[in-house]
Amino acid sequence: MTVRKKRRTIRRKGPKRHLRKSLVIAVLALVLVIVGIVKIPGMVTDSKLRKLGYTEVQIKKIHTDKIADMILKNQYYSEYLAQCIQDSTLRKEYISLYTKVDSSRGLSDTSLLLYNRLADIGYEDDQLDDLFENLYDWEITPLLVYDYQWDETEYIKDCKAHRDVNSQSSFTLDGDYLREFKNISTSKTVDGPILINTKNSLDESYVPSDLTDITTEYAASGQQMCNEAASAFLLMAKAALLNDTPFFASATYISYADQQSAYKSISSQVGADLADVYSERAGFSEHQTGLAVNISATYEDNEKLTSTKVYEWLSANCAKYGFILRYPPSKAAITDQADEAGHLLYVGKDLAQKIQDSGLTYDEYYELFLASWYDQTCMPSADLLNSTSCTNALQSDAEPTASAESNS
């Protein structure tokens, strides 16, 4: 038997391939170029941000927030802006405003809401920058109630000239910034909080549907208020009596017709030019809402009501029952009412407490937090609206009336 030997197949190795040095260098160069394209612009951006004054921590936040281009394009920098970027409290849509104020003045969400409200009634960006750079919120907010000021610099000067006497609790100015009975809006219903002043009136057809008599134990004869307001008033009056600071309702609901008659009577006695000093025009009285009440101290001097124990008790307690002191004498420059210290308005417990805590007059609070928006594009973000408890109304129910305008 023949045994065959297996043939071993021998594979020849080919020549070894070597990478050329030139190719390696080319690849490395390409990598460096790519890295440069990616990194160098960022390094340049960071360098420019450092020159503006930002720290490394702030620069990192700027990149995270994707606002580097915006900052460099407009050269935005202030210590306050830088700190807000670092603290993550910056609202990017108002970034330029952060460069106009310092940390002692600061910007809250309410400040930014105020900014939008002023824009909504016609103030331009440069005017707003001027106002916020020079004044505090409590000095700016009255502009929501006043007429539009074409030259805001005069208003700024007036505010600054009174800083030795003005504060969040007291406000007075030399200038006259309110034209009464101009550009009037008239509402036909009272649906929720409503503002009645020399720019906002009630239609002559409005009569509350649930007027309730108030017992003469706590009111002059014939006094009526809306049911909820009447119940709240009785609770308040009883509590005041227990505190030995009794008062009674001297004026409550007044119909449009009765107010019109009273105004005509006053006008015939003192003349049309002075009638507004002594009486409210029909439609411009809160008493028509059935939510307002004038109180009189039972045993104290009503000529000096603000110095009485009754007024002191009301100031501290009326909000607990849903009422606000509508016309604080120290804010007559805003409310345009200097002699109505005893006038209270029922707005409900929750709103009354918010108004009291704000330190604002009802006119200011309403225009800032409750009023409808004229221009939807001026509305801030839903987040800001919610954070300030601002109503998100787009349209106003009030309709301008030519007849009211012609009465001025």
Tell me how far apart the alpha carbons of residues 143 and 131 are, in angstroms, rounded to a whole number: 10
Spell out the long-range contacts of 67-76 with Cβ–Cβ below 8 A and sequence spacing 24 or more.
67/92, 67/95, 70/95, 71/95, 72/45, 72/48, 76/52
pLDDT computed for residue 171 by the predictor: 97
Which of 119, 123, 121, 125 has the alpha carbon at shortest distance from 95? 125
Which of 316, 295, 318 has the alpha carbon at shortest distance from 305? 295
Tell me how far apart the alpha carbons of residues 229 and 213 are, in angstroms, rounded to a whole number: 11
> Residues with Cβ < 8 Å from 161, sequence gap 6 or more?
174
Could you give phi then psi for residue 388, rounded to 5 degrees?
-105, 5
Cβ-count burial 169-178 (b if 16+ within 10 Å, e if not): eebebeeebb
Instruction: Tell me the angle at which helices 125-134 and 109-120 cross, rounded to the nearest 10 degrees.
Output: 140
Report H helices in 68-140: 68-74, 79-87, 109-120, 125-134, 137-140
Tell me how far apart the alpha carbons of residues 64 and 58 are, in angstroms, rounded to a whole number: 10
pLDDT computed for residue 37 by the predictor: 57
At residue 335's C-alpha, the angle toward residues 293 and 251, to 5°, is 15
pLDDT computed for residue 338 by the predictor: 87
pLDDT tens, residue by residue, 73-92: 999 999 999 999 999 999 99
pLDDT computed for residue 401 by the predictor: 45
Is there a contact between 92 and 76 (Cβ–Cβ < 8 Å)?
Answer: no
From residue 114, how far is each of 30, 89, 110, 135, 179 by CA, in Å?
54, 18, 6, 13, 22
Q: Which residue's entry shows tokens 């108004």?
A: 355
Tell me how far apart the alpha carbons of residues 154 and 149 are, in angstroms, rounded to a whole number: 9
pLDDT tens per residue across all 408 residues of the chain: 555 555 555 555 555 555 567 666 666 666 655 655 556 666 889 999 999 999 999 999 999 999 999 999 999 999 999 999 999 999 999 999 999 999 999 999 999 999 999 999 999 999 999 999 999 999 999 999 999 999 999 999 999 999 999 999 999 999 999 988 888 899 999 988 999 999 999 999 999 999 999 999 999 999 999 999 999 999 999 999 999 999 999 999 999 999 999 999 999 999 888 888 889 999 999 999 999 999 999 999 999 999 999 999 999 999 999 999 999 999 999 999 988 999 999 999 999 999 999 999 999 999 999 999 999 999 999 999 999 988 765 444 444 444 444 343
Tell me how far apart the alpha carbons of residues 9 and 243 are, in angstroms, rounded to a whole number: 118
Region label for 88, one of left (φ > 0), alpha (ψ between -120 and 50) or beta (otherwise): left
Is there a contact between 268 and 236 (Cβ–Cβ < 8 Å)?
Answer: no
* pTM summary value: 0.86
Q: What is the CATH number of domain 185-363+399-406?
A: 3.30.1380.10
Terminal C-alpha separation, the chain? 137
Pair type for strands 399-400 and 185-187: antiparallel
Where in the chain are the domains? 43-99, 109-161, 185-363+399-406
pLDDT computed for residue 5 by the predictor: 55
Q: Which residue's entry shows tokens 């360098």?
A: 47
CA dihedral 314→329→110→354, nearest 10 degrees, is 10
Tokens of 53: 């004054």
Tell me how far apart the alpha carbons of residues 119 and 113 are, in angstroms, rounded to a whole number: 10
pLDDT computed for residue 181 by the predictor: 85
Is there a contact between 67 and 95 (Cβ–Cβ < 8 Å)?
Answer: yes
